[in-house]
Amino acid sequence: MNLKNSILLALLAVLLSSCIVVKNDMIEVETGKQVINLSPKPQMSMSDEIVRSHSGDMIAFLPQDWFFINILDQTSEDIFATAVSPDYTMAAVFTKLNPSPETLEIVRREGVIGLARIFYDKKMQKSAGSLKQVGNTQKIMLGPLEFGKYSYYASSSSEPCHSAVFVSNSGNYYEYSLLPMTFRGKQLPTKEEIDILFNSILATIQY
């Protein structure tokens, strides 16, 4: 099996995991009014490799030495960019979801918290209800930009996946996810390193 297929299978194992059973398919919502403010600057060195949506209404940058992999013809049509770390232990996946009348109403009422639920429910449907959320959905502010963050476990990794959703100025729905990969048997980054990595990529997103 070549490297490209190995990466694809590893990503699919995370995105479409089917071993962990959860009690329900509803994402937990932060009921309080707490908003998390993060530093608008990355905490690690970033490269000049740009993630750009097809319509050009969002961009992001990759960490130093990360690179894109071309597996888009074998994954969901919603995914428009996938990149991996040099040791193939982490992957960043960028997804666009076309709004429908139902999702437009949910986002109008609930903002990024509702949008996070929409993306999570979509994953749950694809995985036959096999994901397990970690904690509550959080609203994150990076300067003037607003995101909804949630985390969940897939059966293929002992570390959670992290996702951040947002609405571009053009009204498009996007999600950035950071996924651990174990197909090469290498040690994953620590929880602190993963948090820094997730927040650093998030800090580069512009929309």
Each residue's pLDDT tens digit, 113-122: 999 999 999 9
Mean pLDDT of 134-138: 94
pLDDT at 154: 85
Report the percentage of the chain scoring pLDDT > 90.
Answer: 67
**How far is it, in rounded angstroms, from Cα 173 to Cα 206?**
13
Mean pLDDT of 84-104: 95
Helices (H), the chain: 3-15, 101-126, 191-204
pLDDT at 182: 83
pLDDT at 9: 55
pLDDT at 88: 94
Amino acid letter, 9? L
Half-sphere exposure of 96 (CA within 13 A, CB side): 19
Q: Is 199 exposed, middle or buried (0-12, 13-18, 19+ CB in 10 A)?
A: buried
- The residue ranges of DSSP E strands in the chain, in sequence order, are 36-37, 46-52, 59-63, 67-68, 79-84, 90-97, 132-142, 145-153, 161-167, 173-180
Tens digits of per-residue pLDDT, 26-62?
333 443 457 999 888 999 999 999 999 999 999 999 9
Place 77 in a pLDDT band, splitting at 50, 70 and 90.
confident
Q: Could you tell me the pTM of the whole model?
A: 0.84
pLDDT at 29: 41
Mean pLDDT of 81-107: 95
